[in-house]
Chains A and B, each alone.
Chain A
Amino acid sequence: MTLLMNETADAYIFSMIKNPATKDKGFLQLMDIYKEPIYWHIRRLVVSHEDAEDILQETFIQVYRFAGSFKGESEIYTWLYRIATNECISHFRKSKKWVRNSGSIEKMPGELSETDSENSDSILVKFQQAILQLPEKQRIVFNLRYYDELSYEEIGQVLNSSINTLKTNYHYASEKIKKYLIDHA
């Protein structure tokens, strides 16, 4: 897993957040650790940077508000992923912008960094387009498993689903992606 989840550090940061005197300091430390992976998780789901920024801020505002009520029954990062994922889902429902039909995917090659080669750009774009074709649940499961490298147990905590269901979702998602890449080659 790319994230270095130090439970002791997390517990210390959370004790800081729960203390009104050190709340802001602890919160900034928590953001420094998790803002990037959470941002990329959101960004892969919503595509647009502006939407991803809003959702990231909203996610951490929720954390700032409800940090006192976090009981520590799950890991902090799974809690963060859960909040971020729920925010993304409510964003989809609110705006009804299911990005697979939007033009934002078409704009993606222009947003790629100049250092990337043209070929890798196209394959990455194709791969993202394949992911964006997936149904909501499969898409989230695939992203959490493939990019964030969460275990099925952790994804289960994020999505409140059973491991078998998640495995099935991932299997269907990867099959669909492969098919899409072959069809659009």
Chain B
Amino acid sequence: MLKQKISKLKQINMNENNEFQEIGKNTPYKVPAGFFEQVSEKTVLKAKQRELRRRRKLVLLRNVSVAASLAAVFLLGYFIPDTDIKVESKQTVITNQSAERPIIQNTEITKQTTVTEIGKTVPEKVPDRTIAVETNSEEIDDVLADLSDDELLQLAAMFTTDPIVSESAQ
């Protein structure tokens, strides 16, 4: 029977419209009972669930992106103030230096002034020292004058025996 049908198919000069007329448009596939009645509801339910899940994912993604951007800002904030501190410290150093500079300058000035004072005072001090030496010799003369003869003899003996005193005198 099948062979006859196929031989018929061979014989017929089929054009596109009446091709496989013997077979028709049916298929051997079977569908479970009530499938088409239920599939619409099932699909709508599934589509809604999918939509809800997608929205949740979007919300989650948005939250994660916000959290990530906040973390990025925090990290940036962690590093940027650090560099700020460095800059500030540099600035403070500079400002300290600049604050110290006048002090140094002042010290220099004071040094200069002292040097100049010393320079100025040195010639003035020499007569002071000479005066002081002179005053010291006067005092020694006074002391010697106050000494007795025995004491003077002892002192002379000391002067001759003590090398340090004799050398300093020379």
- Residues on A facing B (Cβ under 8 Å): 24, 27-28, 31-32, 35-36, 39-40, 43-44, 47, 49, 53, 56-57, 60-61, 64-65, 108-109, 111-113, 116, 119-128, 145-147, 170, 174, 177-178, 181-182, 185
Contact = CB atoms under 8 A, between A and B. Distances in A.
Contacts of A31: 39-40, 43-44
Nearest to B6: A185
Interface in B1-55: 1-3, 5-7, 9-10, 14, 16, 19-20, 22-23, 25-32, 35-36, 39-44, 46-48, 50-51, 54
A32 B41 CA distance: 10
Main secondary structure of the interface of B (DSSP, over half): helix
Chain A facing B: main interface SS: helix
Interface of B: 1-3, 5-7, 9-10, 14, 16, 19-20, 22-23, 25-32, 35-36, 39-44, 46-48, 50-51, 54
Contacts of B50: 61, 65
A4 B56 CA distance: 39
8 contacts: A28-B44, A43-B31, A49-B31, A65-B50, A108-B29, A111-B29, A120-B26, A178-B10
Contacts of B26: 120, 124
